[in-house]
Structure 1
Amino acid sequence: MATRGVLRAVSVVLVLSLLLLNGLPQQAFAATRAADIIALNGLSSEWSPSLNLNWAGDPCLNSWTGVSCDSTNTTVIALNLDGYNLRGQLPPDIGGLTNLQTLELSANDGLTGNLPKELGNLLNLQVLSLQWCNFTGTLPVELGNLIQLTFFGVNGNRMTGQIPPVLGNLQNVTWFDLSINQFSGPLPVSTDPTSGGVGLDNMTAVMHFHFNNNSFSGQIPGEIFSLPNLIHLIFDHNKFTGNIPTAVGNSPKLEIIRMDFNQLSDVMPSELTTVATLTDVNLRSNQLSGAVPDFSGLTKLQALDIGYNSFDPHVFPSWAQNGTFSQLMTLSMPNTSIIGSLPDAVFRLPAINTLDVRSNQINGSLDFTGPVSETLTTIVLDDNQISGFSGQPLLQNGGNIDINISLYDNPICQNRYLQPRLAGCDRFAQDRFQAAKGNCTNRCGSKTLNPKSCICATPLSLNLMLTAPSMAYFTNEDATVLEKELAEDITNSSTSIDKASLKPDQIYIQNAFTTTDMRISLTILVFPVTGDSLEQGERNAIVHIIRQHKFDISYGPYNLPEDTFRVLKKGVTLTTVAIVFIGLGGGIALLLCIGITLYAIRERRNTILALDPFANWVAGSDDKNGRRPELKRARPFSLTELKEATNNWSQVLGEGGYGKVYRGTLKNGELVAIKKANKDSMQGLNEFRNELELLSRVHHRNLVDLVGFCYKSSEQCLVYEFMSNGTLRERLYEKVETPLSWETRLDIIINAARGLAYLHDHASPPIIHGDIKSANILLNHKMVAKVADFGLGKVTALDGESIDYSDEIKGTMGYLDPEYVQTQIHTDKSDVFSFGVVMVEALTGKSPTHGGKDRTREIRNAFDTEGLAGVRSLMDPFIQGSIPDHELHLYLMAALRCTEAFGEGRPTMTEVVKELESLANGGGLASGGISIRMHGENKSPDVYSDTASLVNTSTSTSSEKGKDGHGNAFHYSGAYGVLRRLGSRS
Structure 2
Amino acid sequence: MMWDVTMERCRQLKTRTKSKELVMIAVILGLCLGWAEIASALEAQILLDFKSAVSDGSGELANWSPADPTPCNWTGVRCSSGVVTELNLKDMNVSGTVPIGLGGLKNLTSLDFGNTSLQGPVPTDLLNCTNLVYLNLSNTYMEGPLPEGISNLKLLRTLDFSYSSFSGPLPASLGELISLEILNLALANFSGSLPSSLGNLLTLKEIFLGVANFTPAPIPEWFGNFTELEVLKLNSMNFTASPLPSWLEKMPKLRIVDLSYCNLVESIPSFLGLLGNLETLFLKHNTLGGTIPEIFENLTRLSSLDLSENNLIGSIPKSLTSATNLNTIQLYSNTLSGELPADLGNLKRLAQIDVAMNNLSGAIPASVSNLTNLIRLHLYDNNFEGQIPPGIAVITGLTEFVVFANQFTGEVPQELGTNCILERFDVSTNSLSGNVPPNLCSGQALRELIFFNNNFTGPVPAAYGNCQSLERVRFEGNKLSGTVPEGLWGLPLVEIISIQENNLEGIMSSSIGAALNLGELKIQNNKLSGRLPPDLGNITSIHRIDASGNNFHGVIPPELSRLNNLDTLNLAGNSFNGSIPSELGKCSNLIQLNLSRNELEGVIPAELGLLVDLNVLDVSHNHLSGNLPSELSSLRFTNLNVSYNNLSGIVPTDLQQVASIAGNANLCISKDKCPVASTPADRRLIDNSRMIWAVVGTFTAAVIIFVLGSCCICRKYKLFSRPWRQKQLGSDSWHITSFHRMLIQEDEFSDLNEDDVIGMGGSGKVYKILLGNGQTVAVKKLISLRKEGYQLDSGFKAEVETLGNIRHRNIVKLLCCCSNSNSNLLVYEFMTNGSVGDILHSTKGGTLDWSLRLRIALGTAQGLEYLHHDCDPPITHRDIKSNNILLDCDYQAHVADFGLAKVLEYATGDLESMSHIAGSHGYIAPEYAYTLKVGQKGDVYSFGIVLLELITGKQPTDPSFSEGVDLVKWVNIGLQSKEGINSILDPRVGSPAPYNMDSFLGVGILCTSKLPMQRPSMREVVKMLKEVAPNIEL
TM-score after normalising by structure 1: 0.40
TM-score after normalising by structure 2: 0.38
If asked which structure has higher relative contact order (CA below 8 Å, sep 6+), I would say 1
Task: Answer with 1 or 2: which has the greater Rg.
Answer: 2
